[in-house]
Structure 1
Amino acid sequence: MASFLSKLFGFSSGSSAEASASSGKTETYGDCLIRANPMREGAQFRLAGSIEKEVDGVVRVRTFIRADLFSSEQDVIDATLRKAHQIIDQHGPSLFSDDAASRQV
């Protein structure tokens, strides 16, 4: 009974495993590296990923998390790659023009 209540209120180690990111897929688009990092939330996956680019010898990372939830891990990976392509196309060179090594987009 105590085990059930612990899981119900998030006091078990299982809840932290669900919150961690799943292993994703990487893809090169233009001169950027895209990493799909779907986040498991219960029985669903949240769209999350990062875009990396080397600028003047320094790797700059732009991460993104969206509200979209998917029931299939493959569906969220495909959607993450499409969203990253859209972000790169919309922002162009300004995506990495600041001096920040890492930031959210």
Structure 2
Amino acid sequence: MGILSSLKGLFASGESSTSEKAEDVVEYKGFSIVPAPIKDGGQYRVAATITKGEGEEQKTHTFIRSDLMPNRDECLEITLRKAKLTIDQLGDNIF
């Protein structure tokens, strides 16, 4: 139920949102990564948005992983590592 609660929180409005502010954009191989850890029961879930292109050409992929980290800084580090690995493995097929 934890994952379902997290997904529900992403789409809920108001104070019940489980995600905190998104971090700064990290550029990697032509892609933009915006880490967005989700607070989940005192821990942080790995989540980010990966985009490529601009305007009408922009494509976006949002991912949420089952990984939980005890603190936000560690979660940000793991999120960036997993996002870069995903880009390395899938490239434009991520969209």
Range of TM-score over shorter length: 0.7 to 0.9
Shift of 1:71: 1.1
1:22 to 20, 23, 27: 20
Structure 1: tracts of 5 or more residues without a match: 1-12, 97-105
* TM-score of the aligned structures, taking structure 2 as reference length: 0.75
Q: Which runs of 5+ in 2 are unaligned?
A: 1-13
Name the aligned partner's letter for residue 26 of structure 2.
E
What is the letter of the counterpart of residue 31 of structure 1? G
Q: Which structure has more helix as a fraction of its residues?
A: 2
Indicate the RMSD between aligned Cα atoms, in angstroms: 2.1
Aligned to 1:75: 74
Q: Is the partner of 2:87 in helix, strand or coil? A: helix
Deviation at 1:22? Answer: 1.4
| TM-score, scaled to structure 1 | 0.68
Query: Identity of counterpart residues, as a percentage?
Result: 32
Residue 36 of structure 1 corresponds to 35
State the structure with more CA Rg: 1
Whole-Å separation in 1 of the counterparts to 2:69 and 2:26:
20
Point out 4+ residue stretches in structure 1 off by more than 6 angstroms. none
State how far apart, in whole Å, the 2-side matches of 1:47 and 1:92 are.
20
